[in-house]
Amino acid sequence: MEPIKIKTTVLTADALAKAMAEMQSILSQLTPSEYKDALAIQSGDDSDRSAQNLFSDPGGNDSVSSDQNLTTTTTLACPSHPTTDGPTTTETKPGQNNYHILPHPVPVSKSEPRTVKIGTLNSIPIYHYFSHAEQFLASQEYATPFGKRFLLDEPDSLLPSDDPSDRVFHPPPHSEEWWPGPGNANRDFRFKRYFEIRKSGLGGLGAFATVDIEMGRVILLERPLLLTTHGRVEDDVLAMRQEGKGIYRSLDGGGEVGWVSRVKDRNCFDLGGGIGFFGIASRFNHACRGAANVNYKYDHHRQVMVMTARRDIEAGTELFIDYGAGSSACLYAMYGFVCRCGGGCRRLTRRDLEAMGAGLKELVKWGLASEKELAW
């Protein structure tokens, strides 16, 4: 097979970015079964791969990368395998980009089971590479009485989906029976295979490994309780069904007033283009500067939060994610708490907090002023 030449004058960064964006948008519209169709020729052993092999590179090297890419990977131009159709190079003039998107992904060859052709840009084929993570997710997705779920060994949001047809099969379970949280900590939820939610030394609850977990292991797949935007959150929470609202509210430690925004401030995940709330993922505390031992990534296509072990973790260890604020001052400014993770961040001082407008009550709360001062 002749190597394929790509004219760099044609594939400007802009053209490439535009093509990628368009292809990603097409891919995001594929249903899971279309994904599965595209993978139909995959050789059987891949489907049995364990979670620690998810994040391999396109060359089949199963090392786990630190940024654990769960999204689709689109490759422009030809990898080193034959294609089944058409010319692969063309003379085109810059500025005259011609996209052609195939109605369905076409598997490239049996020897490259994870690569499909999804279209062309100026007659140059554009390929999509399915990572192990995608294959794993596709193979774990099942239609259940609770809607499309991930119900093998992996934990899942225990809520029924908002699809009205689900309720034909099952009345929604009562939240207190089904949900981990204060007052229900001893129930043996499925996620106890890897972790449990219990009291943390940081105050409130946290997630703790119940077994030794190896790096790369998927420890949580969870559908969101609610997907919304900053502007709509109040209306959307109030419009939730009773049990969903109960779980949302259980994320708050406070009183009758202001719980919608308190939960939002403490627990919302920025999913890019919107925010999401999760009953289990929201119980993970934060650690700074690489001290986090769990990675998280939202898979937009399947609408599922995926958490993976960032390193080998011993049973009993608290599981931490990095909330991504960058510093303890930003954490305070964004989420309103003083970080005590012990992961190398600078502990905020009274002066820091005063500079950020904290009142005496707030200083007392963080142990930076005494009750006696407050009495004055």
Under the rule (CB under 6 A), what is the footprint of ligand SAM? 200, 202-206, 251, 266-267, 282-283, 285-287, 335, 337, 339-341
What is the C-alpha to C-alpha distance for residues 145 and 143, in angstroms, rounded to an integer? 7
What is the C-alpha to C-alpha distance for residues 214 and 202, in angstroms, rounded to an integer? 24
What is the C-alpha to C-alpha distance for residues 335 and 338, in angstroms, rounded to an integer? 9
| Tokens linked to 25 | 């948008």
SS3 string of 6-27? CCCCCCCHHHHHHHHHHHHHHH
Nearer to ligand SAM, 285 or 308 (CB): 285
What is the C-alpha to C-alpha distance for residues 135 and 141, in angstroms, rounded to an integer? 10
Beta bridge partners of 271: none
Sole residue written with tokens 């990675």: 295
What is the C-alpha to C-alpha distance for residues 285 and 321, in angstroms, rounded to an integer? 6
State the nearest-atom distance from the C-beta of 372 to ligand SAM, in Å. 24
State the nearest-atom distance from the C-beta of 324 to ligand SAM, in Å. 12
Compute the C-alpha angle 79/84/90, nearest 5°: 65
State the nearest-atom distance from the C-beta of 203 to ligand SAM, in Å. 6
Strand order of the β-sheet with 124-129 is 73-76, 124-129, 112-121, 99-109
Nearer to ligand SAM, 53 or 210 (CB): 210
Nearer to ligand SAM, 97 or 200 (CB): 200
> Using alpha carbons only, how large is the chain's radius of gyration in Å?
24
Beta bridge partners of 197: 207
State the nearest-atom distance from the C-beta of 286 to ligand SAM, in Å. 4
State the nearest-atom distance from the C-beta of 267 to ligand SAM, in Å. 5
Residue nearest to ligand SAM (CB): 204
Nearer to ligand SAM, 51 or 341 (CB): 341
Nearer to ligand SAM, 105 or 279 (CB): 279
What is the C-alpha to C-alpha distance for residues 197 and 283, in angstroms, rounded to an integer? 7
The 10 Å Cβ neighbour count of residue 216 is 25
Nearer to ligand SAM, 35 or 323 (CB): 323
Contact 83, 108 (CB under 8 A): yes
State the nearest-atom distance from the C-beta of 336 to ligand SAM, in Å. 6
State the nearest-atom distance from the C-beta of 335 to ligand SAM, in Å. 5
Nearer to ligand SAM, 145 or 253 (CB): 253
Nearer to ligand SAM, 195 or 337 (CB): 337
State the nearest-atom distance from the C-beta of 239 to ligand SAM, in Å. 23
